[in-house]
Amino acid sequence: MIKKMKTIFVRNYEEMSEKGYEIIKDVIETKEQPVISMTTGGSPRGLFTLLVEGVNNGLDISNTVMMNLDEYIGPKNAVYTVNTFMYENFYNKINTQPKEIFLINGEADNKEEEINRYKEVLNAYPRDVQVLGLGTNGHIGANEPGTPFDSTIFLAEHDDSTIESTMREYNIERDEAPTEMITLGFTEILEAEKVILLVSGKRKSEAVKNLLEGEVSTDCPATALRDKDNVIVIIDEEAASLLDEKTKNRGK
């Protein structure tokens, strides 16, 4: 049998968030010690809103271990950091806390040591779920175009389009925007039992076309996920707008 990622086509951002939430909720309710690795940014905001509602209405996360895909290099409390995002959008809004919270320290002086520390976390806690967003240039985490498909957690430099996305998402000027990140590589991303890629909006449509119809190539990092049957891509109508009809029908 050909191994292949699964695609789910939905109408809009709200439906994308709901589908993502359903999958995570099911894992939290069925695993003994669920390990969920999240991403931040515009794509998962709606999913976080649903998770907050879920937890505050009784979804039990007391045995859940939470962690993240990446972290910007910069002061921990800067407006754009993963740390700030996770507290503002999740940890500060829920009425019970997860069993464990792990975050990469983007202000660590010694990046190598920090990478090694996080590697130990990853080894100790195999992920049930890894949530991802898709860059307009096809990046996954900070695995930018050109990154080898066997990458492991590393200190990455952002492409210009990624810096622009960060500026847009957090309403900051170029001189305030971070240019580097510690990110999981494809190796650790794909180790998760389920990998959920959330894609919404017109500005992602070209990356979606490359992901589903282009060549598998490091030019479009997301194509590293193409043949993996543990990957679920949830795509809304605007993001799917450049796809051939037959590609969309395959997802049904």
> Footprint of ligand PGA on this chain (CB under 6 A)?
41-43, 133-135, 139, 165, 169
Cα separation, 160 vs 19, in Å, equals: 31
User: Nearer Cβ to ligand PGA, position 59 or 181?
Assistant: 181
How would you write 140-175 as a 3-class SS string?
A: ECCECCCCCCCCCCEEEECCHHHHHHHHHHHCCCHH
Q: How far apart are the first and last CA of the chain?
A: 19
128 token code pair: 């049930």
The secondary structure element, H or E, covering residue 13 is helix 13-30
Cβ-closest position to ligand PGA: 41
Active site residue 237: no
Eight-state DSSP code of residue 238: T
**Is residue 139 among the annotated active site residues?**
yes
Residues in the chain: 252
Alpha helices in 31-129 (DSSP H): 45-56, 82-86, 111-124
- Residue (of 149, 130, 142, 128) closest to 215 by Cα position: 149
Could you confirm whether 70 is annotated as catalytic? yes
Q: Least CB distance from residue 41 to ligand PGA, whole Å?
A: 3
Q: How far is the CB of 124 from ligand PGA (least distance, A)?
A: 26
Residue with smaller CB distance to ligand PGA, 139 or 209: 139
Min separation Cβ 218 and ligand PGA, Å:
16
Measured from the CB atom, the residue of 34 and 135 that comes closer to ligand PGA is 135
Residues 6+ apart with CB under 8 A from 157: 144, 179, 180
- Which is closer to ligand PGA, CB of 44 or CB of 59? 44
Catalytic site includes residue 144: yes
Q: Is 165 exposed, middle or buried (0-12, 13-18, 19+ CB in 10 A)?
A: buried
Q: Which is nearer to ligand PGA, 16 or 55 (CB)?
A: 16
Q: Annotated catalytic sites, by residue?
A: 70, 137, 139, 144
